[in-house]
């Protein structure tokens, strides 16, 4: 189907010749998707009235009654897929989706039912298959950086059901996550990481959950060599939340996570370049230990001068700094090494030109991608070294 054919299909929604679900199915099936013009998001009745209203109608039924019939389940599935695909494919969808206040309100109500009462999820009850579709709506709002769901999704990321889901993962060798586990342990935290620009909600979550994080890691760490990618993916988010909040935490709070990070970095099984989750966990752990070293002199001195783990950590970091598979991990390993050993020793072990060239390469890539966060991270690492 051409773009013009799809526009014709859109126009038939007002006459009743086609339905919202027909249009969503058509859009979902096309690859690449048809182009939606900016004025269509702003003015076409499908986007201004029919599509949001159809999703709201189903979500309000789900919220008020807790059940959906087969047609409503299909409407939510197809509609949420379309919403997510639009958010990913269309830059113009960002403004449109952020303006859908009724849809945002309906989404917030349903998410609050999860955080407050555990409705729809498979913890202490039967998992509702439509939770997967609801997760796609959350992901769509995440892609357009809608900040209006931060409060309720922070609540989902720190409720008792979140902790219960973690222990469900720890009690089995997980190959895939359930819909409930995916929603609570990945979808909601990922939304916070993406949309919490000021780090306000990340800090609230850490202040509430740090003790639970410590208990979770205490339960998981003895089996670290058995961790599968889904388990690792879930564990990355507590580390990322802590990283975003680290400079606001007390010494005792930092100390809790300090021992966890050391354990992860000293375990070789986390260094597997073939598995993306392993790489992400290793990178986040390196970043967090660097920030602990920079923000707390007592813990930094403990690691540099009093820790029996120092020599073992230096060996691990030397191996990582020579790893040609991931430049970002090499940079972080070098930055952490520069904090642990005297300057003369560091320069003796690491070729100045090679290290500088690696930083310049990553700086140019960060500038090319246009992300201030990445640029600042590279410059911070270079300054540290």
Sequence-ordered list of residues with C-beta below 8 angstroms from that of 176, at least 6 positions apart, any chain: 230
Q: Give the pLDDT of residue 8.
A: 87
DSSP codes joined into one string, 182-204? HIIIIIHHHHHHHH-TT-HHHHH
* Whether the predicted pLDDT of 271 surpasses 50: no
Banded model confidence at residue 62, pLDDT cuts 50, 70, 90: very high
pLDDT tens across 106-144, in order?
999 999 999 999 999 998 778 999 999 999 999 999 999
* pLDDT at 277 exceeding the cut of 90: no
DSSP string, 43-97: H-HIIIIIHHHHHHHHHHHHHHHS---HHHHHHHHHHHHHHHHHHHH-TTHHHHH
CB 27 within 8 A of CB 33: yes
Radius of gyration (C-alpha) of the chain in whole angstroms? 24
Does the global pTM surpass 0.85?
A: yes
Q: Provide the 8-state DSSP code for 313.
A: H
pLDDT band at 1 (very low <50, low <70, confident <90, very high): low
């Amino acid at each position: 189907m051409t773009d013009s054919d799809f526009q014709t299909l859109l126009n038939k929604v007002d006459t009743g010749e086609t339905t919202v679900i027909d249009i969503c199915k058509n859009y979902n099936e096309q690859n690449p998707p048809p182009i939606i013009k900016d004025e269509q998001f702003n003015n076409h009745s499908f986007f201004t009235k029919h599509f949001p209203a159809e999703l709201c109608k189903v979500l309000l039924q789900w919220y008020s009654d807790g059940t959906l019939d087969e047609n409503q389940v299909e409407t939510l599935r197809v509609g949420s897929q379309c919403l997510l695909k639009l958010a990913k494919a269309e830059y113009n969808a960002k403004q449109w989706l952020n303006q859908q206040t009724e849809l945002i309100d309906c989404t917030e109500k349903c998410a609050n039912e999860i955080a407050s009462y555990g409705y729809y999820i498979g913890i202490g009850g039967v998992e509702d298959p439509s939770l997967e579709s609801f997760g796609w709506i959350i992901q769509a709002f995440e892609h357009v950086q809608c900040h209006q769901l931060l409060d309720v999704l922070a609540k989902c990321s720190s409720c008792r059901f979140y902790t219960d889901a973690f222990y469900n993962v720890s009690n089995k060798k997980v190959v895939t996550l359930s819909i409930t586990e995916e929603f609570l342990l990945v979808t909601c935290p990922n939304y916070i990481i993406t949309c919490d620009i000021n780090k306000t909600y990340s800090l609230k979550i850490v202040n509430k959950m740090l003790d639970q994080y410590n208990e979770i890691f205490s339960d998981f760490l003895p089996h670290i060599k058995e961790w599968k990618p889904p388990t690792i993916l879930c564990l990355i988010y507590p580390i990322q939340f802590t990283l975003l909040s680290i400079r606001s935490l007390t010494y005792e709070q930092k100390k809790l996570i300090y021992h966890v990070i050391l354990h992860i970095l000293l375990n070789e099984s986390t260094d597997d370049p073939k598995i993306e989750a392993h790489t992400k966990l290793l990178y986040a752990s390196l970043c967090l230990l660097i920030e602990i070293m920079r923000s707390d002199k007592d813990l930094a001195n403990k690691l540099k001068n009093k820790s029996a783990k120092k020599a073992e950590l230096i060996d691990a970091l030397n191996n990582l700094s020579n790893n040609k598979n991931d430049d970002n991990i090499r940079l972080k390993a070098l930055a952490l090494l520069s904090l642990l050993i005297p300057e003369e020793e560091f320069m003796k072990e690491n070729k100045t030109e090679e290290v500088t060239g690696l930083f310049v390469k990553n700086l140019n890539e960060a500038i090319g991608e246009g992300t201030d966060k990445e640029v600042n991270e590279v410059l911070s690492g270079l300054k540290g070294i």
